[in-house]
């Protein structure tokens, strides 16, 4: 199935090459969970993050459906 991932700020570097505007469509196995997709992108497991599915708060073990949009926000501290 296909899902869309949208990554922000420092996470953009984990998108597949040629991705544009922080988003990409990924082909993933059916019944993949949020954490499966995050792992597949190569985002380190020890990085705390906020994940949304279709704009709503989600848990790591939530199962994704075809066409879902997964959004991941990293922690940011910059302000200078």
Partner 1 sequence: MKTLKEMLAEARQVIPEEGPADLQRRLASGEPVTVIDVRDPDEFRDGHIEAASNISRGFLEFRVASAVPDPKTPVVLYCQTGLRSMLAAKALHELGYEKVINLQGGYQKWAQSGLPTVKEATLSTDQIQRYSRHFLLNQVGDKGQRRLLRGKVLLIGAGGLGSPTALYLAAAGVGTLGLMDGDVVDITNLQRQVLHTTADIGKPKVESGTRTLKALNPDVNVIPLPTRITVDNVMDVIKDYDLVVDGSDNFETRYLVNDACYLAGKRNVHGSIFQFEGMATVFAPNEGPCYRCLYPTPPPPGLVPS
Q: How far is the CB of 20 from partner 1 (least distance, A)?
A: 14
**What backbone torsions phi and psi does residue 69 show, to the nearest 5 degrees?**
-110, 120
DSSP sequence for 15-76: SPTT-BTTEEEEE--TT-BHHHHHHHHT--TTS--EEEETTEE--TTPBP-TT-EEEEE---
Show the binding pattern over residues 40-69: x = contacts partner 1 (CB under 8 A), - = does not: ----x-xxxxx-------------------
Return the number of the residue (27 or 77) whose C-beta is nearest partner 1. Answer: 77
Q: How far is the CB of 75 from partner 1 (least distance, A)?
A: 4
Site of interaction with partner 1 (CB under 8 A): 8-10, 44, 46-50, 73-80
């Amino acid at each position: 199935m296909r899902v869309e991932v949208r990554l922000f700020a420092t996470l953009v570097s984990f998108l597949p090459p040629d991705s544009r505007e922080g988003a990409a469509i990924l082909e993933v196995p059916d019944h993949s969970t949020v954490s499966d997709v995050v792992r597949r992108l190569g985002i380190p497991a020890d990085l705390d993050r906020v994940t949304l599915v279709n704009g709503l708060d989600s848990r790591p073990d939530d199962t994704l459906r075809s066409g879902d949009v997964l959004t991941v926000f990293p922690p940011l501290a910059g302000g200078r």
